[in-house]
């Protein structure tokens, strides 16, 4: 037990965090370039290959992941919503991204975590500020603009809006500002001729079926099965820890509960979105990794058990295994 406690006491150290992030970045860099996915939004269809070359896209994706990890550190340092100064959030986020390298692409997948951390600032700053029309308008307009290019940005809307309500910042004026923020971007592109109604993309939804539990026996099918089961396990761990954290922080100040509720709601929204549309899983996976990193960190910070660092250690140890599994899948494909 003392061994685990000693490791746990140093797992949030800056040197360990930097080392893990550097190793994760190196793993992501050597991973074969992921397939260039097409993203459909309200009026536009986007593809990364239209913007930059594969090496540059990979570098930008890693830079976005690092920026999201640093934003988590900054958020907790400024608002201390975990009630502990720790680098564990950023460490776990970098490690989890390296565990599923195929999802780390320069596009919506890596923009979502960074954008979420920026929108969280608007929610935190709106706490008990009824005159938050500009913040609500900005958050809604940014999400709506993203939806023009990819419907996946819509997953940020429920947690941000509900977060504003929990922060006691939502009233008639802020509700109108939010509605205007959602309407303005598509209205502007239509009014200026940048898009036409004929370009409207009907959302395609393919719900998850029990086929995700199918188990194969060839090397490639076993690797795919391990990757799917690991993702299911991550969803279960995230939701389970979310429930435990809500119960553990019930006696905390309201402002801390409001701040953490944004992460809780995002985790639930992401899991539901994945169940509703299985095609969105690669795009939403980095955002799920961010919420999972938060839930694990909060659970570790509040728990008094000597085994509280066992879960983060197991996640870090599982990263190389999942990376190799993803590598097997990619090479065989």
**What are the DSSP calls for 191-205, one per residue?**
HTTSS-GGGPPPPP-
Detail the DSSP E strand segments found in the chain: 38-40, 45-47
Number of domains in the chain: 1
Half-sphere exposure of 241 (CA within 13 A, CB side): 25
- The residue assigned the tokens 């429930």 is 243
Query: Taking the model in full, what pTM does it have?
Result: 0.86
- Cα dihedral sign, 309-314-317-319: negative
CA distances from 117 to 57, 112, 160, 192, 252 (A): 21, 9, 11, 31, 22
Distance (Å, whole) CA 93 – CA 293: 5
Half-sphere exposure of 32 (CA within 13 A, CB side): 10
Mean pLDDT confidence for 126-134: 81
Distance (Å, whole) CA 276 – CA 207: 4
**Do residues 287 and 98 lie in contact, with contact meaning Cβ atoms separated by under 8 Å?**
no
Mean pLDDT in the chain? 79
pLDDT of 21 over the 70 cut: no
Task: Note the pLDDT of residue 187.
Answer: 92
CB burial of residue 198 (10 Å; 0-12, 13-18, 19+):
exposed
> What are the start-end ranges of the H helices in 52-107?
54-79, 88-99
Kindly state the DSSP code that residue 45 receives in the 8-state scheme. Answer: E
Distance (Å, whole) CA 285 – CA 272: 12
Task: Note the pLDDT of residue 314.
Answer: 80
Q: What is the largest CA-CA distance in the chain?
A: 66
Q: Which domain range does residue 290 map to?
A: 2-332
Tokens of 257: 């509960």
pLDDT of 270 over the 90 cut: yes
> Which one has a higher pLDDT value, 326 or 180?
180
Kindly state the DSSP code that residue 103 receives in the 8-state scheme. Answer: G
R_g (Cα) of the chain, nearest Å: 20
- What confidence tier does 330 reach under pLDDT thresholds 50, 70, 90? low
Please report which helix (H) or strand (E) contains residue 43, including its range.
none
Kindly state the DSSP code that residue 29 receives in the 8-state scheme. Answer: H
CA distances from 6 to 64, 89, 151 (A): 32, 18, 45
> Which one has a higher pLDDT value, 230 or 18?
230
Task: Note the pLDDT of residue 57.
Answer: 77
User: Integer distance in angstroms from the first to the last C-alpha of the chain?
Assistant: 43
Task: Note the pLDDT of residue 180.
Answer: 93
């Amino acid at each position: 037990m003392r061994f685990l406690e000693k490791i746990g006491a140093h797992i949030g150290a800056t040197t360990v965090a930097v080392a893990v992030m550097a190793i994760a970045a190196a793993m992501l860099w050597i991973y074969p370039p992921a397939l260039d996915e097409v993203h459909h939004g309200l009026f536009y269809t986007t593809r990364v290959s239209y913007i930059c070359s594969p090496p540059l896209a990979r570098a930008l994706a890693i830079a976005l992941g690092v920026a999201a990890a640093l934003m988590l550190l900054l958020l907790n340092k400024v608002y201390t919503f975990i009630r502990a100064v720790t680098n564990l959030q950023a460490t776990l986020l970098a490690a989890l991204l390296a565990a599923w390298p195929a999802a780390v692409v320069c596009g919506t997948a890596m923009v979502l975590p960074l954008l979420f951390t920026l929108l969280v600032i608007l929610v935190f700053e709106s706490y008990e500020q009824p005159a938050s029309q500009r913040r609500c308008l900005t958050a809604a307009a940014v999400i709506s603009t993203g939806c023009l290019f990819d419907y996946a940005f819509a997953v940020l809307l429920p947690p941000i809006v509900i977060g504003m309500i929990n922060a006691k910042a939502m009233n008639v004026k802020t509700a109108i500002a939010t509605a205007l923020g959602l309407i303005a971007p598509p209205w502007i592109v239509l009014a200026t001729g940048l898009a036409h109604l004929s370009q409207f993309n009907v959302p395609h939804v393919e719900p998850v079926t029990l086929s995700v539990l199918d188990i194969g026996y060839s090397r490639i099918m076993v690797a795919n099965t391990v990757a799917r089961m690991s993702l299911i396990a991550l969803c279960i761990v995230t939701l389970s820890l979310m429930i435990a954290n809500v119960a553990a922080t019930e006696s905390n100040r309201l402002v801390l509960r409001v701040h953490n509720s944004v992460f809780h709601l995002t985790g639930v929204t992401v899991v539901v979105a994945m169940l509703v549309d299985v095609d969105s899983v690669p795009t939403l996976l980095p955002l799920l990794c961010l919420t999972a990193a938060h839930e694990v960190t909060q659970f570790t910070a509040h728990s008094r058990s000597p085994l509280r660092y066992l879960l983060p250690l197991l996640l870090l140890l599982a990263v190389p295994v999942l990376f190799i599994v993803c590598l097997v899948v990619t090479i065989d494909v």
